[in-house]
Chains A and B, each alone.
Chain A
Amino acid sequence: MRITKSTSDLPALRRGKTIEVTIDGRKVQAFEGELVSTVLLAEGISIFGRKHTTGRPSGIYCGMGVCYECLVTINGTTNIRACQTFAVDRMVIETAGQVKP
């Protein structure tokens, strides 16, 4: 969920230009300056990948590029950190898919 209001500690902000990215085959709108992890969270996606050894779901954890829990596939390249990669127009993002409720 994107934060739209501004407060004392969150001064008013204008996001970058509108861009379009594809997440698991679905086209969604995003903004320049947003990280891949931000776009996924804004779309309500929390499961980014699955652990190679156990298959347990994983998502963003440290948000600063050290834990490698947020790996996704971007433009066909696997194991890219969603929290360190800026979304760009026409980027194709693939997650490990969501769990059915």
Chain B
Amino acid sequence: MDEVELVVVGAGPAGIESALIASQAGVEVILIDTSPKPGGQYFKQLPEPFKSDDRSDHQDKAQRLFQRLGSSSIRVFNDTLVWGIFEGTKPGSWCLALYGPGAPQRVNSRAIVLATGAFDCSIPFPGWDLPGVITAGAALTMVKNQRVLPGKRVVLSGTGPLLFASAALLVQAGAEVVGVCESSANLLRRGLPYLPAVWGQWGRMRSGPRSLWGRERPRVLHPTHCRTN
């Protein structure tokens, strides 16, 4: 059975970065990810047969990270599922059960970093389980990575900046965005305490106003207009 000092689960930006830091400190690392390519949702890569000349800063950052990963001694298992974590045979060790082509069935590790990421937190409402209702994350993946529209007419509902980013992208892609139902009464005011965190994130600061006030601006509905029965 493979034995390492550290297994990192999840090859998104956080997982890759932590694997790199550990590896640079001389730790033997295995990095495991469920997708065919590293990147996670944030740096999600186009499928292999799709070709695109993407020169955005975002893609540039992703490529630089993948290059650092490629030139490290980290062993990467893509397309691999971690279906269980058990106590190892040695005291203080863990045994990870894997499923994937090219991956061993089990790996023993002294430590594990779980960088399995986040997914959309949905608030249930009547009918939310029916086809046609999808998460904003799903809409972004469909449009960006698969180039397919989830629908022709779209209403976005929820809270936070992802809603506006999704709306802007959907409009660009040709969907009719009927409205954005922002459930927070005053998103900008509530965001003020976090202002110092955006210092230096100029690229994102540029894309914010573009989705709020740009040419492709969707109609923003206030909470009072979005009540459901």
Contact = CB atoms under 8 A, between A and B. Distances in A.
A12 B53 contact: yes
Nearest to A41: B148
19 contacts: A1-B152, A5-B174, A9-B144, A10-B172, A11-B56, A32-B49, A33-B48, A41-B148, A41-B149, A58-B130, A59-B132, A61-B138, A63-B134, A63-B135, A63-B138, A64-B137, A64-B138, A66-B119, A83-B138
Is the interface on chain B under 10, 10 to 19, 20 to 34, or 35 or more residues? 35 or more
Interface string B122-135: 00000001111111
Interface in B132-181: 132-135, 137-139, 141-144, 146-150, 152, 168-169, 172-174
Interface of A: 1-5, 7-17, 31-35, 37-38, 41-42, 46-48, 51, 56-66, 69, 83, 86
B52 interface: yes
A2 B150 CA distance: 9
B189 interface: no
**Most A C-beta atoms less than 10 A away, residue of B132, B141, B146, B172:** B146
A70 to B, nearest CB: 9
Where chain A touches its partner, the secondary structure class is loop
Interface of B: 34, 41, 46-56, 119-120, 129-135, 137-139, 141-144, 146-150, 152, 168-169, 172-174
